[in-house]
Amino acid sequence: MEYVLIVISAIFVNNIVLSQFLGICPFLGVSKKISTGIGMTGAVTFVMVIATIVTFFIQKAVLEPFGVEYLQTITFILVIASLVQLVEIMLKKVSPPLYQALGVFLPLITTNCAILGVAILALGLEDTNIVKSVVFAISHAVGFGLALITFSGIREQLDLMDIPKGMKGTPIALVVAGLLALAFMGFAGIV
């Protein structure tokens, strides 16, 4: 049950983009087409889960035992940055098609607040453990994907419509995001 709540909370109630304001840049940046939205979701899920696992162990094995929790930010981001680069280099070689699909998004991920945010938030869970953290990370990635893909669907449709000149592009995208967030507030209080 606890896991179910984590999942629902992460996807709907506390959606990482629409209510926690994390990962907004890619949300706005790579949502012009559904296909890129899907690619980005894949890349984010991948990195988010791995990053959460690695940072979990760093926290538990290094930072906490030595009492240097204040290094959280710097160590986590170092790990994430290296990880992203690692994945990028490897993917390019191992699976060029996958790299074609995800590659362009990877560099963006380093500076995606959602990854670092989720890694830090995962440690704040009650009685946290590794399984819970992973579930937490996956659910947030799904929530990110849900928001991103829905949003890119809307934007694809808006592309075919005649939006007033002043609102074209970013402004209307932000308004749509706002209305989407407004809609998602309906899920408030479920968990």
Contacts with ligand FMN by CB under 6 A lie at 185, 188-189
Q: Which of 42, 92, 98, 128 binds other proteins (CB under 8 A)?
A: 92
User: Which range, of 22-30, 31-39, 46-54, 173-181, touches ligand FES by CB under 6 A?
Assistant: 22-30
Q: What is the C-alpha separation between 29 and 86, in angstroms, rounded?
A: 23
Q: Name the helix (H) or strand (E) containing 102.
A: helix 96-102
Q: Which of 54, 98, 104, 113 binds ligand FES (CB under 6 A)?
A: 113
Cα 188 to the center of its chain, rounded Å? 20
Residue holding tokens 């963006």?
A: 108
Q: What is the closest distance, in whole angstroms, from the C-beta atom of residue 116 to ligand FES in the complex?
A: 9
The dihedral region occupied by 99, where left means phi > 0, alpha psi between -120 and 50, and beta the remainder, is: alpha
User: Which range, of 40-48, 134-142, 152-160, touches other proteins by CB under 8 A?
Assistant: 152-160
Nearest alpha-carbon partner for 19 in 173, 183, 136: 183
Instruction: Quote the DSSP letter at residue 182.
Output: H
If one counts every other C-beta atom within 10 angstroms of the C-beta of residue 188, the result is 11
Q: Does 25 bind ligand FES (CB under 6 A)?
A: yes
Q: What is the C-alpha separation between 10 and 45, in angstroms, rounded?
A: 13
Q: Which of 20, 112, 139, 150 binds ligand FES (CB under 6 A)?
A: 112
Q: Which of 8, 19, 24, 71 binds ligand FES (CB under 6 A)?
A: 24
CB 112 within 8 A of CB 51: no
Q: Which of 23, 39, 143, 145 binds ligand FES (CB under 6 A)?
A: 23
CB 18 within 8 A of CB 147: yes
Among ligand FMN, other proteins, ligand FES, none, residue 127 binds (CB under 5-8 Å by kind): none
Q: Does 120 bind ligand FES (CB under 6 A)?
A: no
Site for other proteins in 5-24 (CB under 8 A): 18-24
Residues that bind ligand FES (CB under 6 A): 23-25, 111-113
